[in-house]
Amino acid sequence: MKAFKHMESFTQKCISRWSITHYARYSDTPHKKSKLAPLQERRMIDQCKIFAKAGDGGNGCFSFHKGRPDGGNGGRGGNVILECSPRVWDFSGLQRHLIAEKGGPGSSKKLIGSRGADKVARVPIGTVLHLINGDIPSVVETQSSTDVDPWEIPGELVYDLPDPGIGSISSDTSGEVKAIHSTGCSSSQAEETNFEKSEKSTDVFSQLSTSKGAPEFDTKDIEEKQEILYNVAELTEEGQQIVIARGGEGGLGNVSCSKDSRKPMTMKAGACQHISNLQDPDSVHSSPHAAGAPGSEIVLILELKSIADVSFVGMPNAGKSTLLGAISRAKPAVGDYAFTTLRPNLGNLNYDDLSITVADIPGLIKGAHQNRGLGHAFLRHIERTKVLAYVVDLAAALNGRKGIAPWEQLRDLILELEYHQDGLSNRPSLIIANKIDEEGADEVYKELKRRVQGVPIFPVCAVLGEGIADLKAGLKMLVNAEISHKLCLDQILLA
């Protein structure tokens, strides 16, 4: 019933937006029964839920040497850090539980405990963070936090937890991470800030959850859906780091607790238990007052969206991967079966004065918006591309093949994009008519030009590299906004 309502709203949406006539439905021509890729089961993991726990601070030491306190501070706990890497394609290799090391305990002779090692996990470029539980990650670091001076002694025991009120991250429209570093504050300030924090969190939530781009998660085990703070940060550049869980400060040793550690210890009630050891140079005790602060915890959903200037969008087998290899140095897998591309391949198109990133999006089939084929896995990558390059196979219906004509391929592609997200196809576009080398393809190309108006069409043979120079020039003009044609259903003559 739910599914039925869903379909009904789809249809209505479609009718109002596109004024669909009897022909503006999917092609009834059966698809070429393509061989399924043997690796189809290996879908890319482009969404996952992770739990991170930073290391607790080590305990401070309570010890005396010749009547003077000499217990060192505990070491700081390690941070959990996400690092953006172009060598990682998806989240399949990412641990779901990321735990950083605890700080070592302080010891006598004013020795500071060792700093807990950071846990650094690599994530792909285009990783977006959605917060389920914990504090909004507050620091983006470009250098490893292991460079922090381990001898830095905190003046007081501060629970330096990230605070979205004063140090938060947000993603702006350009997709860059903005960070304001948090600073320490007094307890009264802290109270004030906590108040601000709850207000601001709500603000962020209402802004983001109502924003058009707020993603829908189909992960079944996410029950806290309504509490997700969407898009709290995103990682867009190689080497970018973000601390998602912050290590606890080490506990203070008694050398730091005492106002003047040089003076001989005056006996206090709490210290009585240590009196017998005062003369013992090796006396070492832990004190409950000197416990290290706990490391913070966080639960996040990570989502991957490709960031490219151009997306190649086309049916399986249209030749997108071959084309990417022809126009750039990328070496994507090419096969004569559907879904050779299981994840977006990225290629760089270099000009004298410009470099364009092109994504080869896995082949699209009817019903992809309902998660058929590779479904959502690729549709969400298209959300973040400036320009669409529709790749059609001129030879799909030629020579007894059971594929569909290029103009019908275009209609199906547009419908899929729009079903996934209203307006997704509404961006500068061009058409690449591939496989012009095939017998009879010339005639189909002429027919395509007659049927589709107002958008540049580039005939190419990807395998032989023919027509590539013109195509590159066209893509450059489109990305530079020198031309801005958009393809919509009205421009396609289907009858």
Residue 64 or 378 having the CB closest to ligand GTP: 378
CB of 43 to ligand GTP, least distance (A): 13
Residue 69 or 316 having the CB closest to ligand GTP: 316
d(CA 125, CA 109): 46
d(CA 346, CA 22): 38
Residue 441 or 475 having the CB closest to ligand GTP: 441
CB of 375 to ligand GTP, least distance (A): 13
Q: Which amino acid is at 435?
A: K
Output DSSP code: residue 192: H
CB 271 within 8 A of CB 283: no
Residue 401 or 486 having the CB closest to ligand GTP: 401
Output DSSP code: residue 257: H
Distance spanning both ends of the chain, measured CA to CA? 34
CB of 362 to ligand GTP, least distance (A): 6
Helix, strand, or coil (residue 193): helix
Interacting residue ranges for ligand GTP, rule: CB under 6 A: 314, 316-322, 334-336, 338-341, 362-363, 434-435, 437-438, 461-463
Residue 230 or 390 having the CB closest to ligand GTP: 390
Query: Which tokens belong to 46?
Result: 């482009």
d(CA 119, CA 81): 6
What angle separates helix 2-18 from helix 406-420, to the nearest 10 degrees?
120
- Residue 476 phi, psi (nearest 5): -60, -45
Residue 256 or 385 having the CB closest to ligand GTP: 385
CB of 377 to ligand GTP, least distance (A): 12
CB of 344 to ligand GTP, least distance (A): 10
CB 116 within 8 A of CB 78: yes
Enumerate residues 6+ apart whose C-beta is below 8 A from 328: 347, 348, 349, 350, 358
Helix, strand, or coil (residue 284): strand
CB of 324 to ligand GTP, least distance (A): 8
Comparing every residue's Cβ against ligand GTP, the nearest one is: 363
Q: Which residues, in sequence order, are bridge partners of residue 41?
A: none
Residue 249 or 393 having the CB closest to ligand GTP: 393
Residue 263 or 331 having the CB closest to ligand GTP: 331
CB of 381 to ligand GTP, least distance (A): 13
Residue 203 or 470 having the CB closest to ligand GTP: 470
Shortest CA distance to 45 belongs to which of 374, 340, 354, 282? 374
d(CA 428, CA 479): 8
Number of Cβ atoms within 10 Å of the Cβ of 476: 18
CB of 334 to ligand GTP, least distance (A): 4
CB 73 within 8 A of CB 292: no
